[in-house]
Chains A and B, each alone.
Chain A
């Protein structure tokens, strides 16, 4: 039983990371029907933004828990969000907006191009900034007193503070996002744009701004995920967005792309399936080598029997 609960916790905290990234895929898809394949790199840029903020603060180490959690961590979070949002807005303006009326494959190829460009830019140039570590290999993430390496015990369960941070961040972000989309003018403008961009424009909605906001919201959540990743795995590298991005995209499709709640459910499901498959599938197909296979078997089954995803897409079709 302990083993089951422990794997559930492992899976949920991994899934929370997927979910935070998956929201970005789903929000953008919901509004412009674009699979933003560069979103994994926005996540990576967020982690590097948080790290850069820490470096700019003079790489503070061995602080009291109060300062680490009250000053350093919020500053890193803010730095990561600002970096991710800036890069995402630039990307939207330069790579996607000019292609908005182009055939659907054009922005997709543009997205793949941006993804490679961002990876390589960070890989090759980040380490050239004087005083910064070589980014061609994994960079150890700063130790944040009060989180890094701390655990809490529940009976036989061990839960890392960093896992709690990720789960907490997901909960807070989901509530804020729900409030933003449903209760604010801009959120409602985004919903209207996703239903019918032309009519929205006729109603006086600034469609360009609504779309840019969708990119910014997704990027902010990806930056939170980037920081959570750094805290949890203690290192970041320029290629970290690739696999995480693919998994998060899978989670978005699993939950029903275009549906924000679906992204959260899909992310958590994917994480839990990976963790459970490692332990509870007997025989040679149950080893950790097969966890990705089971995760994708689940995806294929969902797509066969419920093509709209677990919670179903809320996108209105324009045919």
Chain B
């Protein structure tokens, strides 16, 4: 009996180890904001009442839901506006929103579900680059265009070998700039402001690691020194051991690759333990929730984000006014504008591809092709894609936490990399 119990305990411990090391499990849940399709019952030709659906995948629950819900509402707004103005004669657009919880597996399930819906003509999303990597193959196999407002990992468009870029998926586009631009932009900012000794930390996810790698290359080339390079486990809450190790190398700033659910507590713990240097990160930090989690000591922390500040662009102001008038419960968040532009890019392409299509499914390939030629003034500026599917716009802004709010510090059309 004793031996048996020991064996059982050892077994549990093994299971515990496996689960802990492989990170937290994932839960699947989907939210569909629109009901079942109401149209399509035997209708032929371009009769009014034909329905084409635009899918949406992003975290609608979990730590990153503040960003995901803002994106969903913005896509919803774009679709409503298109339907009201009759942008595509004879067709009504519908939104099908799915929750990926910021995790690749639920994302893949959501993509499979959308690919199986013959009315889907394009998908907006996801937020996370790691989810983007997971869902691209699924949607590409069904020739469904995927336009991401927020994936910033360069490999999604240019393939794994960035020295010899090759377009990874013909059906993938994005309206935001990439980490290959964002990381060097942050490096330039820190060097310009006299920070030459910097420590880096990332969360081992595609986004965080990509950002830190791009940052490190540009920072060392620019004459700076990375004095410590560490990682954290995104499921952990206690970063004191890492902070102590980083503090021993006396950095003047810490560059973090990851998102605010970890970055906020990291900043708070870092300052509480006496390492009073600014934490800088990418667009994953640029949300009010970061300041909430990081607390009052977050003043001076920095984040780069894509595009110019919303209030400095007239086109953005029109988006904000329409969003406010839409009566959405949640804010549009850092990516709302890009989600809105992504949805409008698909709608622009649909104007071409649905013009003489009988059914939505048949228009999928034409939509992908039409997206390559899309060129219009969106809320965030010019929306057009280069030969890899990347946005041609490379405007970036550094934001700084000042008095408990993100305040724009420097905006630049960055062509450094």
A259 in contact (CB, < 8 A):
no
On whether the beta carbons of A240 and B274 are closer than 8 Å, the reply is: no
Give the secondary structure class of B's interface: helix
CB-defined A-B contacts under 8 Å, sample of 20 = A3-B244, A3-B248, A7-B241, A123-B61, A136-B62, A137-B65, A149-B271, A158-B274, A229-B237, A233-B269, A234-B268, A235-B264, A239-B24, A243-B24, A243-B236, A253-B12, A278-B242, A278-B244, A287-B231, A289-B233
B273 in contact (CB, < 8 A):
yes
Give the number of residues in A that approach B within 8 Å (Cβ atoms): 60
Give the number of residues in B that approach A within 8 Å (Cβ atoms): 53
CA distance A233 to B295 in the complex (A): 11
How many contacting A-B pairs (Cβ < 8 A)?
148
B389 in contact (CB, < 8 A):
no
B284 in contact (CB, < 8 A):
no
- Residues of the A chain whose Cβ atoms lie less than 8 Å from the Cβ of B232: 288
Cβ-closest chain B residue relative to A309? B9
Tell me the B residues contacting A by CB distance below 8 Å: 1-2, 5-6, 9-10, 12-14, 16-17, 19-21, 24-25, 27, 61-66, 204, 230-233, 235-238, 240-242, 244-245, 248, 261, 264-265, 268-269, 271-274, 289, 292-293, 295-297
On whether the beta carbons of A250 and B13 are closer than 8 Å, the reply is: yes
A126 in contact (CB, < 8 A):
no
Cβ-closest chain A residue relative to B232? A288
On whether the beta carbons of A287 and B292 are closer than 8 Å, the reply is: no
- Residues of the B chain whose Cβ atoms lie less than 8 Å from the Cβ of A80: none
CA distance A24 to B100 in the complex (A): 34
Q: Which of A138, A162, A293, A318 contacts B21 (CB 8 A)?
A: A293
On whether the beta carbons of A287 and B295 are closer than 8 Å, the reply is: no
- Residues of the A chain whose Cβ atoms lie less than 8 Å from the Cβ of B1: 317-319
**Which residues 8-58 of A sit at the B interface, judged by CB distance below 8 A?**
10-11, 13-14, 17, 33, 35
A110 in contact (CB, < 8 A):
no
CA distance A299 to B17 in the complex (A): 9
Q: Which of B241, B261, B271 contacts A10 (CB 8 A)?
A: B241
Chain A CB count within 10 A is highest, among B20, B61, B62, B238, for B238
CA distance A14 to B64 in the complex (A): 26
On whether the beta carbons of A296 and B20 are closer than 8 Å, the reply is: yes
A143 in contact (CB, < 8 A):
yes
- Residues of the A chain whose Cβ atoms lie less than 8 Å from the Cβ of B25: 242
Q: Which of A7, A13, A149 contacts B295 (CB 8 A)?
A: A149
- Residues of the B chain whose Cβ atoms lie less than 8 Å from the Cβ of A239: 24
- Residues of the B chain whose Cβ atoms lie less than 8 Å from the Cβ of A143: 295-296
- Residues of the A chain whose Cβ atoms lie less than 8 Å from the Cβ of B235: 242-243
On whether the beta carbons of A237 and B236 are closer than 8 Å, the reply is: no
Known: A7-B244, A243-B20, A292-B20. A158 touches B6 (CB 8 A): no
- Residues of the B chain whose Cβ atoms lie less than 8 Å from the Cβ of A120: 27
| CB of A236, distance to nearest CB on chain B (Å) | 9
On whether the beta carbons of A160 and B272 are closer than 8 Å, the reply is: yes
CA distance A148 to B6 in the complex (A): 42
- Residues of the B chain whose Cβ atoms lie less than 8 Å from the Cβ of A136: 61-62, 65
A211 in contact (CB, < 8 A):
no
Per-residue interface assignment for chain A, residues 211 to 240, with 1 indicating a CB less than 8 Å from any chain B CB and 0 otherwise: 000000000000000000100111101011
A246 in contact (CB, < 8 A):
yes
- Residues of the A chain whose Cβ atoms lie less than 8 Å from the Cβ of B236: 243
On whether the beta carbons of B13 and A303 are closer than 8 Å, the reply is: yes
CA distance A162 to B265 in the complex (A): 14
A60 in contact (CB, < 8 A):
no
